[in-house]
Amino acid sequence: MKAIQVKQAGGPEAMELVDLPIPQPKPDQAVVKLAASGVNFVDVYFREGRYKAPLPLVLGQEGAGVVTAVGAEVKSVKPGDRVAWAGLLGSYAEYAAMPAHRLVPIPQGVTEQQAAAAMLQGMTAHYLSHDTYPLKRGETALVHAAAGGVGLLLVQMAHNIGARVIGTVSTEEKAQLARAAGADEVMLYTQSDFEAETKRLTSGEGVDVVYDSVGKTTFEKGLNVLRPRRMMVLFGGSSGAVPPFDLIVLSQKGSLYMTRPTLVNYVATREELLARSSAVFGMIAAGNLKLRIQHTYPLAQAQQAHRDLEGRKTTGKLLLIP
Ligand code: NDP
């Protein structure tokens, strides 16, 4: 089978298309023939070595497809079942052997491509807006990179809750997408000062929550647009890591709260994984959450997918099709 492997950490060229044997399931595993693998920014971190895993590794954290074989202990799925996952390495491949208890069923009305597109970024948008800072109707959220994969989903969920959404993006085309997803105001943070603009839009009051996945270039100013005792949610570093931070700043800027969450802790149990994934699938099936799968690449073009993602050329979801 074909897979995308990294033997040594590096740039997009570190990803090689290789031939590997189709995996056999261990007792607690299911083997899945993938219909699609999701591309996520976290794949860049693993490829670069910013996040560590033993090498060589098959990249990719998200996928969906049909179960072809199960190990002796597996009861939760059987061959022929349509399943999806997020947060499991080894997804840029034609087949993957995954722990069966981390697989979720894909409900009727949701395609395998949609499932591969929704699992990681959809469950992330869900936990950020419903649990990390549970947004309420009438509150205001600032969402950075609002036309990105997580961004477009987070904007929709925040809008559906009834919050006012202010988004930042780098181009006018992205601004239009963010507006169409439900953002009330969108600014080009590459051209105007988002701190001044956010203060103006909120009559100097500031926002209730900043959802920041951009990190290095946005974090500090983001603290200046929060109302006292509200929350900075730093959940990524697309522009680079935030430098070490002195906690006294939180007190000086209004007794702020800050968290650096990650999906794995919000789907830690099987119950929570099933509840969260079915909440997201339910939104899709009901037409309340639109997935924008604009970019699909053959598996062999994974390098190009990463170049486009890192080059800020993409919007919404990127999929690799084996
Ligand atoms: P995106 O589709 O959002 O792509 C990244 C976007 O970040 C770009 O399109 C770009 O939007 C913006 N950006 C700003 N500065 C830069 C820069 N210097 N280089 C590249 N991009 C930049 O990716 P994902 O939706 O896959 O992920 C978004 C972020 O969320 C990532 O940081 C990821 O690690 C994080 N994440 C965190 C999770 C968690 O649980 N903690 C789970 C999932 C994702 P623009 O051009 O508009 O500025």
CATH number of the domain to which 171 belongs: 3.40.50.720
Task: Please check whether residues 225 and 290 belong to one and the same domain.
Answer: no
Q: Is 160 domain-assigned?
A: yes
Q: Is 125 domain-assigned?
A: no
Are 155 and 140 within 8 A, CB to CB?
no
Task: Please check whether residues 241 and 178 belong to one and the same domain.
Answer: yes
> Domain range for residue 170?
136-260
Q: Which of the listed residues 260, 294, 313 is the one where a domain comes to its end?
A: 260
Residue 299 to residue 234: CA distance in whole angstroms: 31
Task: Please check whether residues 254 and 272 belong to one and the same domain.
Answer: no
Number of domains in the chain: 2
Task: Please check whether residues 210 and 285 belong to one and the same domain.
Answer: no
Residue 57 to residue 213: CA distance in whole angstroms: 25
Ligand 1 atom, smallest distance to 174 CA: 47
Report how far apart, in Å, the C-alpha atoms of 43 and of each of 46, 132, 241 are. 5, 23, 15
* Residues whose beta carbon lies within 6 Å of some atom of ligand 1: 40-42, 120-121, 124, 145, 147-151, 169-170, 174, 213-214, 217, 235-239, 261-263, 309-310, 312, 314
Task: Please check whether residues 106 and 33 belong to one and the same domain.
Answer: yes
DSSP label at residue 132 = I
Q: Is 130 domain-assigned?
A: no
Q: Is 126 domain-assigned?
A: no
- Residue by residue, pLDDT tens for the chain (322 residues) are 999 999 999 999 999 999 999 999 999 999 999 999 999 999 999 999 999 999 999 999 999 999 999 999 999 999 999 999 999 999 999 999 999 999 999 999 999 999 999 999 999 999 999 999 999 999 999 999 999 999 999 999 999 999 999 999 999 999 999 999 999 999 999 999 999 999 999 999 999 999 999 999 999 999 999 999 999 999 999 999 999 999 999 999 999 999 999 999 999 999 999 999 999 999 999 999 999 998 999 999 999 999 999 999 999 999 999 9
Q: How far is the CA of 29 from the centre of ligand 1 (A)?
A: 31
Task: Please check whether residues 217 and 200 belong to one and the same domain.
Answer: yes
SS3 label, residue 231: strand
pTM: 0.97
Task: Please check whether residues 208 and 164 belong to one and the same domain.
Answer: yes
